[in-house]
Amino acid sequence: MRQKEIMLNIRPLNDADELGDDHAASSYNTPLRPDAFELDDDEKIVRIEKHFREIMTILGLDLTDDSLNGTPKRVAKMYVKEVFSGLNPKNRPHARLFENKYKYDQMLVEKDITFYSHCEHHFVPIFGKAHVAYFSSGKVIGLSKINRIVQYFSKRPQVQERLTVQIAKELQRVLHTDDVAVVIDATHLCVASRGVGDTNSKTGTAHFSGKFNDENIKREFLNYINAK
């Protein structure tokens, strides 16, 4: 698949029906209300459990059944503590930097980082691989922290374009360099399991900045991540 730099086409949405099945991002930042974290996690779990129980009841499910009775609380805990934990800035990874004592001046690539996210339009999973590279500006980061940054931004309702840009911008901020590349290859269950029902298609996005806008460097990175 030919990779290219992603340019977000951001437009105002006045009607949710206007969006339909389109996968358009409304902004670079995840849309959050100013009071998003006034409630603590425990209170959020209590409230989500109540509302999810009502949803299941409306669907006609028998919540007295042993298999279903605990589902609302399990879903509430999963939303707050796991799959949407990246919404809370207190969970942002603290990335410690180290001196580049090796004087390594070539690109560093971390490829095939597995991630799981959720489509913000239908709240169904997005999953795939992220590939990240950077040139050191004199500092390096622990490899596991790159994975943690990918996971942090994945664990929130997302669109893939925004996720790609957020990972890239965070790496630029943490590493104090513009020389960053991010490529994501993902499967969207909102496409595979509903709507058009295409189980074979994948979506690719990319963000290149700094040295990675040089075609030779970009090609070197893409050749590496596509190599078996």
Active site residues: 119-122, 160, 188, 190
Separation CA 209–CA 168 (nearest Å):
9
Q: What b/e readout covers 10-31, taking b as 16+ CB neighbours within 10 angstroms?
A: eeeeeeeeeeeeebbbbeeebe
Half-sphere exposure at residue 38, Cβ-oriented, CA atoms within 13 angstroms: 5
Q: Among residues 211, 215, 207, which one has the least CA distance to residue 6?
A: 207
Structure tokens at 18: 């206007």
Residue 189's H or E segment, with its range, is: helix 189-192
